[in-house]
A and B are shown apart, each in its own frame.
Chain A
């Protein structure tokens, strides 16, 4: 057990070291979401009437936070696929280390990177007018939610990365997964404007319940269309917790099995 923790810690540390050796990596993974904040705030901000005090930016920030942590999946998948391709996974597997340490270390590392990214985004959001109206504790809880969600998504990335085994394929595959997930949601525009059948999809989407949960925690009202009054719309917090547990319960065992079964190929 002690070995397991130290093995995972070594792998996590490796990732943080990579960031310090290639600072551009951290720079760009931070600049991109900040760019999103600015673009959406100033390009769409004027044309979307939210009916919320403080304007669009209040609704936007939780949406962009969730989108950003959802993309943790991509980072994990691409990183692992590259490790596969370069034979590093083989090397790790030839070492006397715990079976799951490599993937757990990786997801923790990618999760930890989100702390930096979310902090930078929060500051940028504040600068352009984002003001949570809830208590400090609720705001904090919101960020904890985001971090855990990012960690859960990262496990989907493990499975994708180990399955495609190639960096460039992983990049494309993750876009196909994450883009619909984040845009078919309430993250950037209210779902009430969508065709009715799509509203169901969008509102049950884990990204939407996460966004709704964060909005609630940051002191905002949510609007729901088709599913108004149903469980996810009434209880976005609980629903998000259920989703996170579900994602982890499914993808952690699948991913670890995939890692171990790489031997059969």
Chain B
């Protein structure tokens, strides 16, 4: 069964001048993780806000757990958890106060709320900070508390909008661990991200969106295939270039690609590691020891680039700033 379905969602701003969503379609199978991957302004947040009942689309339909999001938002709210792009908790209150407040707003009894707050603080390694105002939390702690708040009722369907943006590599690892555990617990998850690596790691299936549309979807493997299969790559000293061209051409059987500068010869192969062993044997027979030899599968970066092209640079900047552990200024 599909836990989330979005059909032809359209959302425009400024009287149609800005098309945030332009006929977006997606669905998430129950108990699986869909990674919605897209650059800045692709429409990720808009999609999540519509599915989480916060925003009405201009047209299109959406259901969550089989319930129409537009017709019965109150029913949907009882089943979902949402952790938005920016942590939304009361900063002057403590972590404990916040969880209690949200628990009570979900209409759990006082006793059940306390129980759940203790559990969640434990689960998210926040027990020690429970009695401190959120103001004093680090970015990662805030994000975890925000996530904890969205899990109070053990939602059936969880929406996480860029859960690791702005976290340093360590915070990101922690968050991944937390999300992995949730997924093992069986929740259906729709998560947005700008990081290919993250979608690759966390998601069963990936939907690449750009300009408010899904431009590709599938497992991370099938997306990689879409861009092209494996390639055999060999780097050698200049003197052996000619012989190696010959070998690669024979193993591959298709057109080879030569990069004189990098002294690299590559060609698509269909037989995987068998082709690699074959090439290695032939090189060995000729007494050639390559500087590098390997099978290269296209990375998700390649997928993304070949699908959208135009965002490659923006994405690189993003990545760089996160690696330095800076918070994204927004």
Contact = CB atoms under 8 A, between A and B. Distances in A.
B74 A10 contact: no
B102 interface: yes
B84 A96 contact: no
A90 B88 contact: yes
Contacts of B55: 263-265
A92 B88 CA distance: 10
Interface in A109-160: none
A196 interface: no
A166 to B, nearest CB: 15
Contacts of A87: 84, 86-88
B77 A96 contact: yes
Interface residues of A, number: 24
Given A21-B92, A22-B92, A88-B90, A7 B105 contact: yes
A47 interface: no
B249 interface: no
Contacts of A264: 55-56
Nearest to B80: A94
B243 interface: no
A41 B210 CA distance: 65
Contacts of B94: 21
Contact of B101 (A10, A22, A90, A263): A10
Nearest to B152: A95
B97 interface: yes
A80 B40 CA distance: 28
B101 A21 contact: no
A168 interface: no
Contacts, number: 69
Interface string A72-111: 0000000000000011101111111100000000000000
The SS class assigned to the B binding surface is loop
B52 interface: yes
B90 A263 contact: no
B89 A10 contact: no
A17 B102 contact: no
B143 to A, nearest CB: 13
Contacts of B56: 263-264
Contacts of A95: 77, 102, 105-106
Given A21-B93, A91-B84, A263-B56, A96 B101 contact: no
A114 to B, nearest CB: 20
The residue among A3, A18, A21, A95 with the most chain B CB atoms within 10 A of its own CB is A95
B78 interface: yes
Given A10-B101, A14-B101, A18-B93, A94 B54 contact: yes
B278 interface: no
A6 interface: yes
B160 to A, nearest CB: 13
A97 B107 CA distance: 9
Interface in A42-98: 86-88, 90-97
16 contacts: A6-B107, A10-B101, A10-B105, A14-B93, A17-B93, A21-B94, A86-B91, A88-B90, A90-B84, A90-B88, A91-B82, A91-B149, A94-B53, A94-B77, A95-B102, A263-B56
Given A17-B97, A87-B88, A91-B89, 12 more contacts: A6-B104, A7-B105, A10-B105, A13-B101, A14-B93, A14-B97, A21-B93, A86-B88, A88-B90, A91-B102, A263-B54, A264-B55
Q: Which 8 A-B pairs have the closest CB atoms?
A: A87-B88, A96-B77, A91-B88, A96-B78, A10-B104, A94-B82, A18-B92, A95-B105
Interface of A: 3, 6-7, 10, 13-14, 17-18, 21-22, 86-88, 90-97, 263-265
